[in-house]
Amino acid sequence: MAAAGAEAVAAAAEEEEEEAAAGGKRRLPLPDPESGGDSEDEGDSDSSGDGEDEEKENEAEIQRLEEQLSINAFDYNCHLDLIKLLRQEGELVKLRRARQKMSELFPLTEEIWLDWLKDEIKMASEISEREKVYELFERAVKDYICPEIWLEYAQYSIGGIGQEGGIEKVRSIFERALTAVGLHVTKGTALWEAYREFENAILETAQPAPGSVPSPKQQQMLCSQLERIHTLFRRQLGIPLLDMEASYAEYEEWSEEPIPETIIKNYKKALQQLEKCKPYEEALLGAETPKLAEYQAYIDFEMKAGDPARIQLIYERALAENCLVPDLWARYNQYLDRQLRVKELVLSAHDRAVRNCPWTVGLWIRYLLAMERHGVDHCIISEIFEKALNAGFIQATDYVEIWQAYLDYLRRRVDFTQDSSKELEELRSAFARAVEYLKQEVEERFSESGDPSCTIMQNWARVEARLCNNMQKARELWDNIMTKGNAKYANMWLEYYNLERAHGDTQHCRKALHRAVQCTSDYPEHVCEVLLTLERIEGTLEDWDAAVQKTENRLARVNEQRAKVAEKEAALAKQEEEKAEQRKQARAEKKASKKAKKNRIGDKRKADDDDEGEWGREEEEQPSKRHKGDGDGLLLEEDMELETGLFGRSGAEKPDRPANQKQKASTSRKDIPKVLHDSSKDNVTVFVSNLSYNMAEPEVKLKELFESCGEVEQIRPVFSNKGMFRGYCYVEFKDEKSALQALGLDRKVVEGRPMFVSPCVDKNKNPDFKVFRYSTTLEKHKLFISGLPFSCTKEELEDVCKAHGNVKDIRLVTNRAGKPKGLAYVEYENEAQASQAVLKMDGLTIKEHVIKVAISNPPLRKLPDKPEAGRASQFAVPRQIYGARGKGRTQLSMMPRALQRQSNPVAKAENGVVQNSPATSSEPAEEPKKMSNADFAKMLLNK
């Protein structure tokens, strides 16, 4: 019927085109513009000029949309825009053609169908035109189960009641509508009431004139019509529908006889069932799109009840709102295949599924199986398969699956008892075409065939060997399989060997195993064992000797190679251990150096307090030096401070600068006692990092930020030895729930930088622990976009993406400083929307940047066994010997040679006196005398 309707509409479009070519354009009747009185000629000419300009613009836009659709016929939004413009212009011929093309590619929504039907109803005046509208209605009700379209269909059919058989046709349409949507809890009542109103109108026309006595025929017709209305009331009251009480009261008022007990019993039973359905209906009314969870709960409820009609209806309701969810279609089709098994219903559902989700290979495979199961003609099945190949699957393996399903179908058609048949030749040509298709079409698009192990060729070889007794062809196929990179795998050789063993001869088995021993690299022992087993059972002495010699030589080479690999791995492991030991030693030396330096700073401060001389006063007055190019006023190493105190003399006292004030603030933090981290509270603590070093009062700032997650017990910022904030801290909460909620603040921008929030984990106990909040596997509902301009904002990207589906989340990738990298991840509600977005957005230009769009599938990270192995060499020597910033090509030593410290951390300088070297340190030495700053100066000036 749908095909006939399509042909009828197409024929009508051709007729209209002929009319337009002959005389002019046929337009839809448009509403007359409101007029407030007579207008002047000048105003009329201005308005007509504006109308002409607008018409020209619309014609140009229509031409552009048509050209775009000629390039990409699957542009859904382009179809909608074209139909909207054509409807606005009243171009009936082009509008019909545009709607027809769209309906061939996509199932149309309720709104599109209703607009189309109303436009055609306006133009339908002749009987032939009304028939075309009927055919259009028949197509509309097959796309989705829609109560509004069924109601419009039934009401339109009432207009043809005057024709022959008109009343019966209306009743037939109403009955079909009740079968389709009469059980709809919220919208079914409208159909029942419309049907009763129609029958009541017929009853009124059948009433005899006042004062006249009805004839027996009229009396019989009246009784029959009354019984029809009684039946409609009784049928409706037995179904759980909203406002059942009002329908029951209306029946009581209308009926002259008391309502039978059976009807009352059914009514009460339906009321009870309605009470059970109400929670699910209320959940659907209160939920937001797509309501999948609510619909699934409703489906599970109806499945337990077991009424097939109600199960089918709730599935159809869910699909009307979620037509692009492949899993929902798959579950519905599985239910129809296994439970209802009605041919028309099953095939219709499968057809709608693949039209809505053509990119899902599983739906196409189910469709092919269903058609085979219900005995559909071979030509139609082949046609559907060709449509599947052009559906645009998103993975190479999908094409392998659809080909395999079709080849299985063709194999089941073949009668292998015959030596040759048309079906067998078709199967062989299909196998050859499949191999070529994967090699050419699929590999060109995906850079892989999707079938690395050649499963289709393997199945072809098995069919030839087992079913056609053609081992020669099977051997040729296996030879091709091995030349495609599979010769190194033992399991491939053993598959071939088993095939030869079952359908070939011993000579070819032996030949295959000898080749396998030579080529296999993954499990050569297994192949050698199979060869020896064969020769032990069937071989001669010469065969046995040859097999033993070949296997021994092969295994010797394999063991030698494995020994070399093991030796290399052991050497690498030893190097890693040595590097780890060097790192450990370097850390220990660095720690000892810091400890000794801290002690020396304490002694120096004590000496400064005791000294009242000129040098000490000058040191206090001299402002601290900064790093070159550093505006934060960070202090230099202790050596640089000492040099400043000796040679940076200044007679006058200078006022404090901001750097000095910051230094004083940082100095004040030195006096704060350090709080050791309590690892027992890790579950209620989060680690916060990547904060700005310039953050003033981090405790106050972070407490305001994290109090939204729960009660904050303590915030512990980490400061350097000089009291400067190091950009990270620990936030301890009252309970674990608050700590888990705080993880949601990860990547929040604070003072221009993304703040990192992660669980507090002891890296010594869990050295491999690493927090990465995003998935590193294939996510079919998420897109990866590259090539974005750095100025692109999240809102601008969302405006582009939301045109192709419901966007759940957008993440712009930034570096640690919060600067954009031109990359983004866009998450859609389902993989259907994501797939459509890839087709529409890939290659799109945004702010003169051409973007690339793909399904999110991050490559696997190749992490070394020891993360610090690559950097071990640079830490083998303590970093302190190069200064605070490490060794640089442009770094000059500002330290007098007399004050330079030894690289050996054992030999320390304490208050200017160098201790004995390790060679002489065993002898007891007198404790050196401590010197003041003035003594330091005198000693240096005398040198």
Q: What is the mean pLDDT of residues 648-661?
A: 43
Per-residue confidence (pLDDT) for residue 394, from 0 to 100: 86
pLDDT single digits (tens) 370-379: 999 999 999 9
d(CA 704, CA 698): 10
Task: Give dist(CA 30, CA 89) in Å, integer.
Answer: 9
Question: Which of 23-27, 193-197, 851-855 is least confident?
Answer: 23-27
pLDDT class of 903 with cuts at 50, 70, 90: very low
Label residue 429 by pLDDT band (50, 70, 90). very high
pLDDT band at 12 (very low <50, low <70, confident <90, very high): very low
Q: In terms of C-beta density within 10 A (0-12 exposed, 13-18 middle, 19 or more buried), how is residue 237 classed?
A: buried
Backbone dihedral angles phi then psi of residue 870, each to the nearest 5 degrees:
-70, -15
**What average pLDDT does the segment 421-437 reach?**
95
Residue 772 pLDDT > 90, yes or no?
A: no
Is residue 449's pLDDT more than 90?
Answer: no
DSSP β-ladder status, 779-786 and 852-856: antiparallel
Residue type, 97: R
Structure tokens at 214: 């009805």
| 626-632: average pLDDT | 42
For the ranges 64-78, 282-296, 759-773, the maximum mean pLDDT occurs at 282-296
- CA 783/CA 348 separation, integer angstroms: 32
Please report the pLDDT score of residue 720 as a whole number: 84
pLDDT digits 0-9 by tens, 490-530: 999 999 999 999 999 999 999 999 999 999 998 999 999 99
Q: Which of the 8 DSSP states describes residue 622? A: S
Q: What is the pLDDT of residue 745?
A: 86
Average pLDDT over residues 731-747: 88
Identity at 743, one-letter amino acid code = L
List, for residues 188-215, the tens digit of each pLDDT value.
999 999 999 999 999 888 888 777 777 8
Mean pLDDT across the chain:
80
Q: CB neighbours of 150 closer than 8 A, spacing ≥ 6? A: 141, 176, 177, 180, 181, 191
907 vs 771: which has the higher pLDDT: 771
Tracing tokens 């030596």 back to the chain, one arrives at: 419
Own/partner pairs for 906-912, CB < 8 Å, 24+ apart? 908/596, 908/600, 909/600, 910/600, 910/603, 911/600, 911/603, 911/604, 911/607, 912/936, 912/939
Which residues are bridge partners to 845 per DSSP? 850
pLDDT at residue 39, rounded to an integer: 42
**84-98, 556-570, 751-765, 768-782: lowest mean pLDDT where?**
768-782
Rounded CA-CA distance 829/779 in Å is: 12
Per-residue pLDDT for 236 more than 90?
A: yes
Q: What is the pLDDT of residues 529-584, one digit of tens each?
A: 999 999 999 999 999 999 999 999 999 999 999 999 999 999 999 999 999 999 99
For residue 930, name the pLDDT band (cuts at 50, 70, 90): low
Cα(573)–Cα(341) distance, integer angstroms: 64
Tell me the per-residue pLDDT of 30-47, one tens digit each, with 9 for 90 and over.
Answer: 444 444 444 444 445 555
Highest mean pLDDT among 466-475, 611-620, 819-828, 862-871: 466-475
The pLDDT tens digits of the residues spanning 698-709 come to 888 888 889 888
Q: How confident is the model at residue 835 (pLDDT cuts 50, 70, 90)?
A: confident
Cα separations in angstroms, 603 against 596, 904, 911, 916, 930: 11, 21, 8, 19, 9
> Residue 56 — very low, low, confident or very high, per pLDDT cuts 50/70/90?
confident
CA distances for 220 relative to 165, 195, 214, 216, 224, angstroms: 20, 21, 9, 6, 6
CB 423 within 8 A of CB 368: no
Give the Cα separation of 365 and 398 in Å (integer): 10
| Apex 838 CA angle, 834 and 844, nearest 5 | 135
623 vs 586, residue with greater confidence: 586
Q: In this predicted structure, what is the pLDDT of residue 593?
A: 86
CA distances from 14 to 8, 97, 124, 514 (A): 10, 9, 16, 71
Q: Are 465 and 474 in contact (CB under 8 A)?
A: yes
Alpha helices in 467-505 (DSSP H): 471-481, 490-503
The winner for highest mean pLDDT among 320-324, 628-632, 880-884, 921-925 is: 320-324
Least confident of 442-446, 653-657, 761-765: 653-657
The stretch 894-906 carries a mean pLDDT of 45
Distance CA 48, CA 51 (A): 5
pLDDT value at residue 93: 86
Could you tell me the two tokens for 146?
Answer: 């829609």
At 311-354, the pLDDT tens digits run 999 999 999 989 889 999 999 999 999 998 999 999 999 999 99
pLDDT attached to residue 746: 85
Flag whether pLDDT at 774 surpasses 70: no
Distances (CA, A) of 388 to 383, 385, 401, 542: 9, 5, 11, 56
| pLDDT for 21 beyond 70 | no
Distance linking the first and last C-alpha atoms of the chain: 112
Mean pLDDT of 811-818: 78
Q: In the chain, helix, strand, coil percent, each to 5?
A: 60, 10, 30
One DSSP character per residue, 563-610 reads HHHHHHHHHHHHHHHHHHHHHHHHHHHHHHHHHHHHHHHHHHHHHHHH
